[in-house]
A and B are shown apart, each in its own frame.
Chain A
Amino acid sequence: MAVPSVAAQPRPSILSRISESRNALGFGFMLPAAVLLLVFLTYPLGLGVWLGFTDARIGRPGIFIGTENYQYLWSDGVFWLSVFNTLLYTISASIVKFVLGLWLALILNENLPFKSFFRAIVLLPWVVPTVLSAIAFWWIYDSQFSILSWALQQMGLIDHRINFLGDPTNARASVIAANVWRGIPFVAITLLAGLQTIPQSLYEAATLDGASRWQLFRYVTLPLLTPIIAITMTFSVLFTFTDFQLIYVLTRGGPVNATHLMATLSFQRGISGGQLGEGAAIAVAMIPFLLAAILFSYFGLQRRKWQQGGGD
C-alpha cells in the first residue's frame, strides 16, 4: 500500500486517512458491538462477582463482607442439594440427549421420502419457546388429569395414577424427560449436519473391505464425527447446566427442593428472597463448572486440528 508521496499533492484530509487505516476503521466498526457487550455483559459479570462478596439486598446497596456468603453456602444443605441436582440433571439429560440425538441423526441421514419435511418438524421442540412447551408438559404431568397416567392405565400397565411432579424421584425423572424432549432436536440436527460432511466413498470403501454395519459406524462415522460431537455436547451441557425455565415452570424447585438447580436457587434467594448478594454468590459458584465445560470444548477443537492434519 506504500504509495510514493508526491510533494505537490496536498496531504489527505483527516477523514480520508481514518477511513484508510485498518485499525481506526476497525475500531469504529467494532464500537457498537463492543459498547453493548462491555456495558451489558462484561461489566455485569464483574459486578456479579463483586455482589457475591457483599450483603446487597433489593433496594439497598450492600457492603463488603468478604467470603461470608460463600461460608454460609458451604454449610447450607440446600445449596449442596442444588449442586447435586444440577450435576445429576446435566449428566443424565446430556447422555440421553446424545444417544437419542445421534440415533435420530443417523435415521434422518438415511435416504428418506419427505426428508426435508421430517427435518423441519423434528426441529419444532427447539424452536418453540421453552416456557410455553414446558406449560404443555405441566399439563401432561398433571397429578389428576395426566394423559400419560390415563394412557398407561388404559393399557393396563399401572393401576393408579403416577404422581409425576409431587414425588422427589418422579419429579427429577419428569424434568429430565422434558429437558431431553426439548434438547434432542438441537443435537440431532447439528450431528446430522456433521454426518453430511462425511464422504460416501469412505463407506463404500469400507464395505468393499467387508466391514459390518456396526464396524462402519464404529470405525468410519464415529471418528469423523467426534469433533462435532465435542462442540455440540459442550453447548448442550452448558445450556442444560444453566437451565432455569423448565424447572421454574414445572416444579419451582420442589418437592422439598428435590429439583432445585443452581440457577433456580439463585433466582429464589436473589430475586424472590431479595438477598442479591447470596443469589449472586450461587451464580458465581456455577462459573468453575462452566469453565470446565469450555476447556473440554477447547480440547475437543484441538483434537480436530490434528485429525485434519492441519496446523490451524
Chain B
Amino acid sequence: MVMKAKRQDIDEGGMGYLQSLPRRVVTVYLPLLVFVIVLLFPFYWMTITAVKPNLEMTDYAQFNPFWVVNPTLEHIHYLLFETSYPGWLLNTIIISTAATFLSLLASVFAAYAIERLRFSGARQVGLGIFLAYLVPPSILFIPLSVMVFNLGLYDTPFALILTYPTFLVPFCTWLLMGYFRSIPFELEECALIDGASRWQILTKIVLPLSVPGLISAGIFAFTLSWNEFIYALTFIQSSENKTVPVGVLTELVRSDVYEWGALMAGALIGSLPVVVLYSFFVEHYVSSMTGAVKE
C-alpha cells in the first residue's frame, strides 16, 4: 500500500514540467478556483447568515450582504435554548450510532461468509447484496410505513434504527468484502492448521487486520444515517422524536416568517458532526472510495 502510494507520487509528477506556468494557470488553477468557490459558497453563506443580525440580513442597501458587521450569537442561542434542537441532535446521534453498530455487526459476518467461507451460493448472495444496494428508499418508504405502523414502531427511534440497515448493510457488506479479499488467504490457512476455529480466525486475525475497512465502513454508515431524510420524515411524528434534518425543516419553518438566521445555524450545527468526523478520517474516506472503485 505504502510503496504503491510512493510510486504514484513520483508518477504524478510525470510530464507536468512540459507545461508552461501561464498555461497551467489558465487550464488548471483558474478553473480549480472557480470550482472551489462555487462548491464552498453555500457553506460560507450558511455560516455568515447564522451569525448575522436580522437587521443586516434584510438591508442590502446599507450593509454588504457578503460580510457581517456586528456578528451575533442570537440565532444560535435561540436554536439551542428555545427550540427542541438539542433533543434532535441527541436523537440523531443515538439513532445513527445504533443503526451503524447493527449494520456493521451484520455486515462483518455476511462479508466474511461470502468472501471467505465460500459456502455454496456465495456468489449469488453477493450479487443479491449488490442489487439490494440499488433499491432506493423512495420506493420503499410507503410499504415500510405500513409495516412500521403494524409493528407498533411508528414514532419511535426503533422505526429508524431497524430500517436504516436496509441501505447500510448492503453498502457496508460490499465495502468489507473488498477489504477481506485483500487479506492473504495464507494467514487463515496457517491459523486453521494451528487448530483455530473459524470464530477465532475472524476475531483474532481478520478483524484486527481490517480495522481501516471497519473504520471507513463505520464512517460511511454513520454519515448515511445522519443524512437520511425520507424515512425519518415518514415514520416520526412528534417533535421530540425527530432527527436534525427533519426537525430543522419541519419545526423551524413556521408559517410565513422564515427565521433564516436560526435555520442556517441549525443547518450549520447539523452539518458539523459529519464534517468533523470526516475530516479526521478523510484519508480513509478517499482511499476506501478508491478501493471500492478498483474492485
Contacts and interface: CB of A to CB of B under 8 A. Distances in A.
A173 interface: no
Chain A to chain B: the 5 pairs with minimum beta-carbon distance, closest first: A26-B119, A29-B113, A33-B110, A242-B136, A132-B267
Given A32-B106, A204-B15, 17 more contacts: A22-B120, A41-B132, A107-B35, A108-B32, A118-B32, A125-B39, A145-B65, A150-B65, A189-B289, A193-B289, A199-B11, A203-B14, A204-B14, A248-B233, A262-B138, A266-B138, A283-B138
B181 interface: no
A256 interface: no
A237 B118 CA distance: 33
Contacts of B35: 100, 104, 107, 122, 184
Interface residues of A, number: 97
A133 B267 contact: yes
Contacts of A31: 109
A203 B14 CA distance: 9
Interface in A161-197: 181, 184-185, 189-190, 193-194, 196-197
B285 to A, nearest CB: 7
A132 B199 CA distance: 43
A79 to B, nearest CB: 15
27 contacts: A23-B120, A27-B119, A31-B109, A40-B144, A40-B147, A44-B144, A51-B143, A51-B146, A116-B282, A121-B40, A122-B35, A127-B274, A129-B227, A129-B229, A130-B229, A133-B42, A139-B49, A194-B293, A243-B138, A266-B138, A267-B141, A271-B145, A279-B142, A280-B143, A283-B140, A283-B142, A284-B139
B143 A48 contact: yes
Given A110-B16, A130-B229, A200-B11, A36 B166 contact: yes
Interface residues of B, number: 102
B279 interface: yes
A33 B274 contact: no
A103 interface: yes
Question: What secondary structure prevails in chain B residues at the interface with A?
Answer: helix
Interface string A117-141: 0111111110111111101110110
Interface stretch (A6-14, A89-97, A286-294): A286-294
Interface in A204-240: 204, 207, 228, 231-232, 238-239
A307 B21 CA distance: 37
Given A40-B165, A290-B134, A121 B139 contact: no
B78 interface: no
A119 B286 contact: yes
B57 A145 contact: yes
Interface string B282-295: 11011001100110
A25 B117 contact: yes
Contacts of B209: none
Contacts of A197: 294
Contacts of A36: 102-103, 106, 162, 165-166, 169
Interface in A68-98: none
Most chain A beta-carbon contacts within 10 A, residue among B120, B136, B264, B279: B136
